[in-house]
Amino acid sequence: MSDNAALPRLPMTRPSIDEATIAGVVEVLRSGWITSGPKVSEFQNALSQLFGGRPVRAFNSGTCTMEIALRIAGIGAGDEVITTPLSWVATSNVILEVGATPVFVDIDPVTRNIDLQRVEAAITPRTKAILPVDLAGLPVDRDVLYALATKHRLRVIEDAAQSIGSSWNGKLIGSTGDFVSFSFHPNKNITTIEGGCLVMNTDAEAKLAEQYRLQGVQRSGYDGMEVDVLGGKFNLTDVAARVGLGQLPHLQTFTAQRRELARCYHELLSAQPDLQLGLPPADFTHSNWHMFQVVLPEQRLSVPRATIMAELDAAGIGTGVHYPPIHLFALYQRLGFRAGQFPLAEYAGRNILTLPLFVGMTPADVARVVDQLGRSLRSHLA
C-alpha cells in the first residue's frame, strides 16, 4: 500500500455550504412557497447591491443568461459574435441557439483568454458582439475590451461564469461593463446548486429579461396577462435562491482562501523548473482563482495526459480538463471549423490540466498534489 492510501480523497472541486444555509433551505421548504418568490427577489437585490446597484436578474443557469443577453441585444440570424474557442461549450452554444454565427479568435497563450490583439482582424460588417470568457477567473483586460467595443459599436456579453469575486483595476467584475453573466453551478466559486444571474444596464433590459425568463409573460393588475415575445422557462427557485443568499456573505473569504491556495501552488511549482509546466499568470490582484491550471509539457512527455490523470486519480487526487477546444467538437466541425485554425487553443486544450482547488483545502493538500504530480511527470519525462 502506498503512503497515500490512508489520505482522504482530494476532489478537483467541492462546494462549501454552511449549516445556517442548510437550515435556511429547510425553512423555505416548509414555508409553502418553494419556486420563484421572495427569496429570488432578495437574492437579486443582494446581487444588485454587490454590483453597485446595477439591474440584476437571477435565472436557473449561467447558460440561459447569455442566451437572453443575446436576445435582448437583438442578435440573431445573419449576425456574428466573436468569442474564444477555449471555454465551456455553453459559451458558443448560446450563439448558435439564437441563430447567430460564432467567430472564434485564438487565445493568448499566457492568459489563455481570447487574444484581444487579434479581435479587430475578425470584425466584419456582420459582427454585433464580443463574448469573452474570464477563464479560471482571470479577467480579460476590460480596458482593451471596451475600447474595441466602443470603437466598433459592438455589444459585449461578458461570460463571467468563472469570475465572480474577480476585479479589474479595483472594480468588481459585474459592477461595470455591458451585459455580465455569472453561473452558480456547484463548481463555481459560489453556488445555488444550478443557477446564474445577468447584470444589465437599464430597467427596460431587466424587464425584457424577466419576460424571456418565463414564457414572455407580462402581468398587470390582478388579472392582466400579455405575451409579446417568445420566452422560455428559465426561472430560479426560492430554494436555490436561499442557497445563494447563504453563499454571498462568504464571497470575500472564499476568494481570499482561493488566492492563498493558488499562491501555494505557484510557489511550490515555480520551485520545480525541470517540469516545464505552463503556469497561469501569478495574478493575485484581479483573479478569484476559480481554477488552478497547468499546461503539461507535451513534447517531453512519453504518455498522454490521461495517463497522468489516471495516476493522480489512483493517488486519490481528482483533476479535470477545462477545456477541449470548442471548434473541434463534431457539431462545430459540421459547421466548417477545422483542426489547425486556432493552434494555441488546440495546444492548451490537449495539455491543460486543472488541479484541485476549493475552499477548505489546506496548503498541505496543495503540497500533496504538487508532490504527486511531480512524481508522475518525472517518471514519464523523455
**Where along the sequence are the contacts to ligand PLP (CB under 6 A)?**
61-63, 87-88, 90-91, 133, 159, 161-162, 183, 185, 196
Minimum distance from CB of 85 to ligand PLP (Å)?
Answer: 12
User: How many angstroms separate the CA atoms of 86 and 40, rounded?
Assistant: 32
Buried b (16+ CB within 10 A) or exposed e, 30-67: eeeebebeebbeebbebbbebbeebbbbbbbbbbbbbb
- For the record, the C-alpha cell of 265 comes out as 501552488
Q: Judged by CB, which is closer to ligand PLP: 64, or 370?
A: 64
Residue with smaller CB distance to ligand PLP, 344 or 370: 344
Q: Which residue has the cell 430597467?
A: 203
Secondary structure class of 269 (helix, strand, coil):
helix
Shortest gap between Cβ of 135 and ligand PLP (angstroms)? 7
Compare residues 88 and 358 and give the one whose CB is closer to ligand PLP: 88
Distances (CA, A) of 23 to 36, 39, 260: 19, 14, 30
Q: Would the CA dihedral through 87, 90, 91, 97 be positive or negative?
A: positive
**CA-CA distance, 45 to 236, in Å (whole number)?**
14
Grid cell in block for residue 369: 498534489
- By Cβ distance, which residue is nearest to ligand PLP? 62
Tell me the three cell numbers of residue 290.
476559480
CB of 173 to ligand PLP, least distance (A): 13
Nearer to ligand PLP, 161 or 180 (CB): 161
Beta carbon of residue 23, minimum distance to ligand PLP (angstroms, whole number): 25
Minimum CB distance to ligand PLP smaller for 12 or for 90: 90
In one-letter notation, the amino acid at residue 14 is: R
Contact call for residues 125 and 150 (beta carbons, < 8 A) = no
Q: What gap in Å lies between CA 106 and CA 113, rounded to an integer?
A: 8
Which residues touch 165 (CB under 8 Å, ≥6 apart)? 137, 172, 173, 189, 190, 251, 252, 254, 255, 288
Rounded-to-integer distance, Cα 367 and Cα 261, Å: 10
In DSSP terms, 102 is beta-bridged to 81
Q: State the minimum distance, in angstroms, from the CB of residue 84 to ligand PLP.
A: 9
Instruction: State in angstroms the smallest separation of the CB of 189 from ligand PLP.
Output: 11
Closest distance to ligand PLP from the beta carbon of 182 (Å): 9
* SS3 assignment, position 377: helix
Catalytic residue among 39, 151, 171, 188: 188
Closest to ligand PLP by CB, 214 vs 367, is: 214
Query: Is the Cβ of residue 209 or residue 370 nearer to ligand PLP in the bound state?
Result: 209
DSSP 3-state of 107? strand
Q: Which is nearer to ligand PLP, 36 or 162 (CB)?
A: 162
DSSP at 293: E
Q: How far is the CB of 87 from ligand PLP (least distance, A)?
A: 5
Instruction: Please say if 207 is a catalytic residue.
Output: no
Please name the residues in contact with 352: beta carbons below 8 A apart, sequence gap of 6 or more. Answer: 112, 293, 294, 295, 296, 321, 322, 323
Give me 223's grid cell: 388579472
- Going by C-alpha positions, the residue among 220, 238, 218 that lies closest to residue 228 is 218
DSSP category for residue 279: P
The set of catalytic residues is 188
